[in-house]
Amino acid sequence: MIASIEGQLGEITENSCLVITSGGAGYEVGISSSLLARLPEKGENVHFFTVTVVREDALELFGFETWDERETFLALISISRVGPRTALSILSTFSPDDLRRLVAEDDPISLTRVSGIGKKTGQQIFLELKYKLKGEVTPGLTRYASRPGGVLQDATAGLVNLGYAENEALAAVKTVLEKEKGLDVGEVLKAALKILARSRA
């Protein structure tokens, strides 16, 4: 099994990228949308931890930024209702720490935030996930700040773009997220703007 790959970033698609190794071989690597958004420019050097998935009709390579993400992907695809693409969708929405926190908080409903996962399927995945995830939550991280581009960061950036000071915006967003879980960026922005308006009244 190929456990990691390093090389020059080539073409980029909606859910994968081409990695050209120093030997000249090119590998198509499936990646999460969150990692896709953080890729460097074409031609830059990249390194991924990888998992090779062999099926009757295909041999696919999937890449991850950290070993923890790779191990979480392996745990996810070992669940009966989760294939590689669904596992990537889950990791596009939740970091490994997010998933461990969902388990710790007994929160299967949040899995329905992943496209294609309904309430019943989410509960079935959650039941198996409880016994397959390894490791502990990183101290000091919240569900919303655990990955770059998460709700906390995006909502804060939106408020800053509207002219609010960063510390003021961050405090308002944190207040909203502490009161309500599972909100998207738009919902957080609306609630945070109300808080900021009251504080300036």
The CA dihedral of 171, 184, 121, 179, to the nearest 10 degrees, is 30
Which segments within 44-169 are labelled E, that is strand? 45-54, 59-64
**Residue 201's pLDDT band (boundaries 50, 70, 90)?**
low
- Was domain 151-200 assigned CATH 1.10.8.10? yes
pLDDT, residue 115, reads 85
Nearest by Cα to 75 from 96, 50, 56: 96
Mean of the per-residue pLDDT values for the chain? 84
Q: Is 8 helix (H, G, I), strand (E, B) or coil?
A: strand
The two domains 4-64 and 68-132 share their CATH topology (first three levels equal): no
For a pLDDT cut of 70, what percent of the chain falls above it? 90
| Other Cβ atoms closer than 10 A to 187 | 14
In tens, the pLDDT along 31-64 reads 998 898 889 999 999 999 999 998 877 789 999 9
- Among the residue ranges 18-32, 108-122, 135-149, the one predicted with the least confidence is 135-149
Q: Is 152 helix (H, G, I), strand (E, B) or coil?
A: helix
Domain ranges of the chain: 4-64, 68-132, 151-200
Q: What is the C-alpha to C-alpha distance for residues 113 and 99, in angstroms, rounded to an integer?
A: 12
Host H or E run for residue 128: helix 119-132
CATH fourth-level superfamily of 4-64: Nucleic acid-binding proteins (2.40.50.140)
In tens, the pLDDT along 76-94 reads 999 887 999 999 999 998 9
- Was domain 68-132 assigned CATH 1.10.760.10? no
Confidence (pTM): 0.66
**What's the average model confidence in pLDDT over 151-163?**
77
